[in-house]
Amino acid sequence: MGTQLDFLSYLCYDMSEKIFTCLDDPSDIARVSCVSHSWRNFGCLEV
C-alpha cells in the first residue's frame, strides 16, 4: 500500500466545515470518522 494523503488536513477549517455540513445523516458522520484521525477529530466537533 502506498502513501496515503489526508486532504482534510490541508483544507482550511471553513472548507472542512462546509464539507461536513453536507452530511445529513449522523451515521454518515460516524462512517467518515473512521477514515482518518483528522476526520474523526473534526467529525466529533460537528456532532
Contact 46, 29 (CB under 8 A): yes
For the chain, domain boundaries: 12-46
Three-state DSSP state, 28 = helix
pLDDT digits (tens, 9 = 90+) for 5-46: 777 778 888 888 888 888 888 888 788 878 777 777 766 655
Q: What is the pLDDT of residue 47?
A: 46
φ/ψ (deg, to 5) at 5? -110, 125
| Distant-in-sequence, close-in-space partners of 27: CB < 8 Å, separation ≥ 6 | none
pLDDT at 33 (0 to 100)? 78
**pTM for this structure?**
0.56
Torsion of CA 15, 43, 41, 45, to 10 degrees: 90
